[in-house]
Chain A
Amino acid sequence: MQAEVEETLKRIQSHKGVMGTMVVNAEGIPIRTTLDNSTTVQYAGLLHQLTMKAKSTVRDIDPQNDLTFLRIRSKKHEIMVAPDKEYLLIVIQNPCE
């Protein structure tokens, strides 16, 4: 079980352009990360809040709908969030153009 988790995270992390990967639980506490502490804590807190906001936005517009994926594109890189009931998977990728 443990090995499977590590393998999956390693696969994602070794993908082209990925700068960092982290898994955050439902309270916004990081439980796995490949980045340093302060960056992880910052990303986890902020993205957890943003994901909750995005989810409630989607549900408010259409109660039958729900959030499946969140992507934030910035000047320097792209942040991808895969949400779930208990966890969030956050991947930061630097796409090459």
Chain B
Amino acid sequence: MATRAQPGPFRPAGSAGAEALATGGAASAGGPGRPGPLQDETLGVASVPSQWRGVQGIRRETMVDTGMSWRLLKNMDVWLPAVLATLKSCQTASIATAEASVQTRKHADAEVQTEVPAPVGARTVAQHDSPRLAAFLRRVEAMVIRELNKNWQSHAFDGFEVNWTEQQPTVTCLHTLGYPPAQGQGLHVTSVSWNTTGSVVACAYGRLDDGDWSTLKSFVCAWNLDRRGLNPQQPSAVVEVPSAVMCLAFHPTQPSHVAGGLYSGEVLVWDVSHPEDPLLWRTGLTDDTHTDPVYQVLWLPEPRHSHRFQVLSVATDGKVLLWQGGGAGQLQLTEGFALVVQQLPRNTKLKKPPRGETEVGATAVAFSGFDPSLFVLGTEGGFPLKCSLAAEEAALTRMPSSVPLRAPARFTFSPHGGPIYSVSCSPFHRNLFLSAGTDGHIHLYSMLQAQPLASLQLSHKYLFAVRWSPVRPLVFAAASGEGDVQLFDLRKSSQKPTVSIKQTQDDSPVYCLEFNRQQTQLLAAGDAKGTVKVWQLSTEFTEQGPREAEDLEQLAAEVAT
């Protein structure tokens, strides 16, 4: 065996030889029997796998320079022992390798889910030390009671408020949005809606004054306010609709689905993210469809699958219908209610309806956030009705329907002086709701009594919309026929509005308004000129004061006994 032959005298193995050996050793340690490439310059012409019993079991390739081999072999007995000694001394440690394969032979399925930690205390945890706990409580009780007492009587923090956010002192108009083709036709904004993420506002065009608008072509427009380069005159999505749209509601979880009710009585659901083919579902004109304009649509969670939603529509034909999106783009009727004069609860004396009229037209609906089956209907007769989805009694109506219609009314409230245009249930108190009507008054009702708790005259003309603020328990906004949006703060004054925002210059009415639940300082309002204005409210309307919930409670408790 010859290692790399060096011309000239044999160099001491300590230097180059050892390196070469070490490299060779390391390089070929890639696996048993696998020769590694030599990194230093190779002289070799031929490579001969070494058959010499390798030192410590590692085979190595050795290179033989044929030109030198004769001379080397001749003197082998001189240099061979020295080389062998070197090999032994600078050999890398053996690398033992072994192969093994691993495979599970048994397996079991298990599901993992985090769980709320088991209830503790008042509810005891076994391992704590009762005597030490008792001693601790004995030590601290007196001090805690003293502090509690002091706190109760303290006036130290009266009127002390901290401002954490930048104060916005006034109400400003952020955007003025409009769609010129619709405005050119003299269309009104009949309804606005914010989507679930709070970044898109959609408006429905139609007409709210008297007349036959059944053949009027109209539009549903949506603007994405978070998009850069927002052009107020160019909506990010426009849907053409063959009939005037009376109401609009965005889906509670799908950011681009929106339901609308038409003057013709149909209910349609669009997807505004697909401008070429936005229509998802429609009711069509079947026996089940409303025969009068649909004044309000809402999305409701399905009773058993709370992540899926149904559409509820109310119309002046007296029907309240629940629709489910079915196959082939058809909205199927799942449940229906009909309001009939004879079946109204008689707890309040109402004016006798004209002869022959048995239906009670519904113009507005609001669901209570606290009880999912309870809802309030506003009617053409001016009286709100407390209704329940769980009502069983069949409605005495001869209107054809594929689903049996039930009578939902449970309680009749004392009426306004004219039809109601809007109702809104308080998100902070289970018993309070507001209604606004053509008599220019706002009534604050408690579910517990027929007479309103308060009646405020806001306008000498009609009031078209009223909405509670989603963040301030005592604040609500109303849209008036005199062209302004009035914001009421019941904490400051219950007689006159805190802020009155002039939306239209020529006193044409404001027809609709909606608070943005995600960006709570925004309020959108649509008017008869076809513009939607997005108002930014001052901080006082968006930050809850220290005692508001209690004040609201107090207000609700003023129920006459």
Task: Verify A93–B117 contact, CB threshold 8 A.
Answer: no
On whether the beta carbons of A15 and B130 are closer than 8 Å, the reply is no
Asked whether A37 and B119 contact (CB < 8 A) given A78-B151, A93-B151, the answer is yes
Q: Is the CB of A33 within 8 A of B123?
A: yes
- Residue-by-residue, is B114-151 near A (CB-CB < 8 Å gives 1, otherwise 0)? 00110111111100101111101111110111011101
A2 at the A/B interface (Cβ < 8 Å)? yes
The closest CB in chain A to the CB of B543 belongs to A75
Let me know if B155 is at the binding interface, CB within 8 A.
Answer: yes
- A97's contact among B123, B140, B158, by CB below 8 Å, is which? B158
B133 touches A95 (CB 8 A): no
Known: A5-B133, A31-B120, A69-B143. A97 touches B157 (CB 8 A): yes
Q: Does B97 interact with chain A (Cβ within 8 Å)?
A: no
A15: B residues at CB distance < 8 A: 145, 148-149
B546 in the interface, Cβ–Cβ < 8 Å?
Answer: yes
The interface residues of chain B lying within 8 Å CB-to-CB of A37 are: 116-117, 119-120
CA distance A93 to B144 in the complex (A): 11
CB distance from A56 to the nearest CB of B (A): 20
Rounded to whole angstroms, the CA-CA distance of A75 and B122 in the bound complex is 28
Which A residues from 21 to 35 make CB contacts under 8 A with B? 22-23, 25, 29-34
Chain A contacts of B122 at CB under 8 A?
9, 32-34
Question: What is the number of residues of chain A that contact chain B, defined by CB distance less than 8 Å?
Answer: 43
A69 shortest CB reach to chain B, Å: 7
Q: Which residues of A contact B138 (CB under 8 A)?
A: 4, 8
A96 within 8 A of B: yes
**Chain B residues near A31 (CB-CB < 8 A):** 120-121, 124-125, 128, 133
Q: Which of A47-55, A57-65, A81-89 contacts B (4 or more CB under 8 A)?
A: A81-89
**Are B148 and A86 within 8 A (Cβ)?**
no
Cβ of A40 and Cβ of B148 under 8 Å apart? no
**Given A2-B130, A8-B137, A87-B136: A93 and B121 interface contact (C-beta under 8 Å):** no
Asked if B152 is at the interface (CB within 8 A of a chain A CB), the reply is: yes
**B253 CB–A CB distance under 8 Å:** no
Judge whether A1 and B158 touch: CB under 8 Å.
no
The verdict on A82 contacting B143 (CB below 8 Å), with A15-B148, A31-B128, A96-B152 known, is: yes
CB distance from A12 to the nearest CB of B (A): 6
List of B residues within 8 angstroms of A84 by Cβ? 136, 139-140
Closest-by-CB residue of B relative to A17 is: B152
A97–B547 touching, CB < 8 Å: yes
Which residues of chain A from 69 to 84 have any CB-CB distance to chain B below 8 Å in the complex? 69, 71, 73, 75-76, 78, 80, 82, 84
Least Cβ–Cβ distance between A52 and chain B, in angstroms = 17
Residues 78-126 of B contacting A (Cβ, < 8 Å)? 116-117, 119-125
B223 to chain A, nearest CB (A): 34
* Least distance between B158 CB and chain A CB atoms (Å): 5
Q: Is the CB of B137 within 8 A of A89?
A: yes
A-B contact pairs, 27 of them (CB 8 A): A1-B130, A5-B134, A8-B134, A12-B141, A16-B152, A17-B151, A22-B121, A23-B121, A23-B136, A23-B137, A29-B120, A31-B125, A31-B128, A32-B124, A40-B120, A75-B545, A82-B140, A82-B144, A86-B136, A87-B133, A89-B144, A91-B144, A91-B148, A93-B152, A95-B152, A96-B152, A97-B155
List 5 other contacts, CB 8 Å, given A15-B145, A84-B136, A93-B148: A23-B121, A31-B120, A80-B151, A86-B136, A89-B144
